[in-house]
Amino acid sequence: MKVAVILGSYSTGTRPLDFWYNNIWSSTRGLTGTDLCFVKTAEELSNLGHEVSLFVSHAQPNNKPDTWGKVKLYNIDQLKAVIDDSFDALISINEPDVFRGLTQKPVRIVWQMLNDFPFCQLGFDNYVDKWFGVCEEHTEYLKSQIKRPEKWETLSLGCDPDWYEDLRVPGRVIWCSSADRGLHLLLSQWPKIKKAVPYASLKIFYHFNYGDIEKVEPNDTATHYHVVEMAQRIRYMKYAIEKLKDLGVEHVGSISRDQMKKEFSVASVFGFSCDTIAFSEGFSVSTLEAHASYTVPVISTQDCLGGIYKDSGAIVIPSPVKNNLNKFTNSVIKGLTDKEFADNTINKCRNFAKEHTWKKSIKKLEECILEIQQNKNKV
């Protein structure tokens, strides 16, 4: 098949993926879960023998290659010039509006990781043959916002268990999700964790690029509650990280995917005290990667996490975490100090991860494209 995989400018924001100046895996820009889905979709479809074109919102420099391995690279501005009836499928990550003005002959799929559609123009659903949510709860949440529920299915995100080795550093805890999703709670408990485990250390791998949000004052009644709450969390986290430096806390920021593989491999506990301000955690690729990487995941049931990971082997704390902080903290400590418990947890989590690989998800995507294609040809 001839397939286009598309990541629009809304998804990349001010941090476009760079396929030209750096190896995508070694770029210090790093890759979010959405970015990783985009890249792995193209890579795995290519591995299955399909002709894949990638469209991304980044200008191609002069004298730079227009391919990434076997995959053709295009700037997203070239969509209308390149897409024609020779394509069998168009796959957009999050953004249905990219299909406007394009031929309707190919199968048009949106793999939706975002949780709503305020960025879309009216009528966006008319351009989509199939929607995918990333877990059952996420799919049901999204279906309620669109009038055509029969278009929806669930397609899990994935991981690569072979990326990781068991190189656990005693006491190492990592955080690698958006900081506003509950890092403040882990930081608030860190002195207790450090007292119980004197050799513990915490590394935080995520950028703090929140613009002017942290300037919003707590009594700003003209600003939405979510923004006010985020501003308070950001200010506290920056303050706490500075105060806790002597207790082994380090904010590293964004790192390359290659480096992130190494950091997962040396981590002992993935401490994800997830506490979102609004529904925003539809899957958590970083949680699945923790399952794959010989790390003990200590997470919450927030948003979709409880549904996805309740039987995965992870230590799952009931939400809201702020009401169960002792349970969360004691679980982190147990993951750091009880080797038999940690090894048993890791074995269960690794087995779960092996059932949720990118290879399996993209194979299911391929099968779905072929099925829709056959139905279209019957019409």
pLDDT digits (tens, 9 = 90+) for 325-336: 999 999 999 999
Give pLDDT, residue 379: 60
Q: How far is CA 379 from the centre of its chain?
A: 37
* Span 104-155, pLDDT tens digits: 999 999 999 988 888 888 888 889 999 999 999 999 999 888 878 889 999 9
Give pLDDT, residue 226: 85
- CB proximity list for 102: less than 8 A, separation 6 or greater: 79, 80, 83, 90
Give pLDDT, residue 176: 96
Mean pLDDT of 155-180: 97
* β-pair partners for 133: 154
Task: Kindly report which listed range (21-25, 87-91, 200-204, 310-314) carries the lowest average pLDDT score.
Answer: 21-25
Let me know: does 298 contact 270? Beta carbons within 8 Å.
yes
Structure tokens at 302: 């927030």
Give pLDDT, residue 21: 60
pLDDT above 90: residue 92: yes
* Span 31-58, pLDDT tens digits: 999 999 999 999 999 999 999 999 987 6
Greatest Cα pair distance, the chain, in angstroms, is 68
Give pLDDT, residue 29: 85
Q: Tell me which DSSP letter residue 144 carries.
A: T
Nearest to 253 by CA among 207, 203, 184, 187: 207
DSSP string, 239-280: HHHHHTGGGTEEE-----HHHHHHHHHH-SEEE-----SSS-
pLDDT above 60: residue 86: yes
Average pLDDT of every residue of the chain: 92
Give pLDDT, residue 376: 77
CA distance 166 to 55: 36
Mean pLDDT of 18-23: 70
Give pLDDT, residue 227: 87
* Span 170-205, pLDDT tens digits: 999 999 999 999 999 999 999 999 999 999 999 999
Nearest to 274 by CA among 330, 335, 309, 321: 321
Give pLDDT, residue 238: 93
pLDDT above 70: residue 222: no
Given pLDDT bands bounded at 50, 70 and 90, which one contains residue 216?
confident
Q: Tell me which DSSP letter residue 28 carries.
A: T
**Which segments of the chain does DSSP mark as H helices, in order?**
9-12, 33-47, 79-82, 136-143, 183-196, 225-243, 257-266, 285-292, 305-309, 325-337, 339-354, 358-378
Let me know: does 157 contact 308? Beta carbons within 8 Å.
no
Spans of all domains in the chain = 2-158+357-378, 161-354
Helices 325-337 and 183-196 cross at an angle (nearest 10°) of: 50
Let me know: does 308 contact 285? Beta carbons within 8 Å.
no
Shared fold status for 2-158+357-378 and 161-354: yes
* Span 283-301, pLDDT tens digits: 999 999 999 999 999 999 9
Given pLDDT bands bounded at 50, 70 and 90, which one contains residue 62?
low
Task: For domain 2-158+357-378, give the fold.
Answer: Rossmann fold (3.40.50)
- State in Å, rounded, how far the first CA of the chain is from the last one: 20
Task: For domain 161-354, give the fold.
Answer: Rossmann fold (3.40.50)
Mean pLDDT of 10-18: 76
The values of phi and psi at residue 369, to 5°, are -60, -45
Higher pLDDT, 91 or 217: 91
